[in-house]
């Protein structure tokens, strides 16, 4: 069965510093993995996706994630945080039959 674990429920960074949001996955086959972002009182928006092509995936707003099979990880990074990055981030694995399995979410706070 497929699952994801987001290792941090809250992450706090200063504006201009790097962002690292951690995600480990479990999958019985080569997974499709996603990061979604949810800004306050908004719906979910796709940041980026991995579907067995390049292991380093670039997304919107300067985010990227690296698929590491040996570590079963798919961590999300950004070199320099912006105030507008404050949101909740979800790591997601495809669960078959077009279903998505969501992690519990990581709330990112960005301080001036």
Tokens of 39: 């800004």
Q: Considering only residues 94, 106, 108, 110, which one is a binding residue for another protein as defined by CB under 8 A?
A: 94
Shortest Cβ 98–another protein spacing (Å): 5
Tokens of 112: 């001036």
Q: Considering only residues 57, 76, 90, 106, which one is a binding residue for another protein as defined by CB under 8 A?
A: 90
Number of Cβ atoms within 10 Å of the Cβ of 69: 12
Task: Provide φ and ψ at 94, rounded to 5°.
Answer: -70, 130
Task: Provide φ and ψ at 83, rounded to 5°.
Answer: -55, -35
Which residues between 50 and 79 bind another protein (CB under 8 A)? 51
Number of Cβ atoms within 10 Å of the Cβ of 91: 28
Q: Considering only residues 56, 60, 104, 109, which one is a binding residue for another protein as defined by CB under 8 A?
A: 104
Query: Does 7 contact another protein by CB under 8 A?
Result: no
For the chain, the residue count is: 112
Which residues between 21 and 40 bind another protein (CB under 8 A)? 32, 34, 36
Binding site for another protein (CB under 8 A): 32, 34, 36, 41-46, 49, 51, 90, 94, 97-100, 102, 104-105
């Amino acid at each position: 069965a497929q699952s994801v674990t987001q290792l941090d429920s809250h992450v706090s960074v200063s504006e201009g510093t790097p962002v690292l949001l951690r995600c480990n996955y479990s999958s019985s086959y080569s997974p499709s993995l996603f990061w979604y972002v949810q800004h306050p009182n908004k719906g979910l928006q796709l940041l980026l996706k991995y579907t067995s092509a390049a292991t380093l995936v670039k997304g919107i707003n300067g985010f990227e994630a690296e698929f590491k099979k040996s570590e079963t990880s798919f961590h999300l990074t950004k070199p320099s945080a912006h105030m507008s990055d404050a949101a909740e981030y979800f790591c997601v694995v495809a669960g078959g039959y077009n279903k998505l399995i969501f992690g519990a979410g990581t709330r990112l706070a960005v301080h001036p």
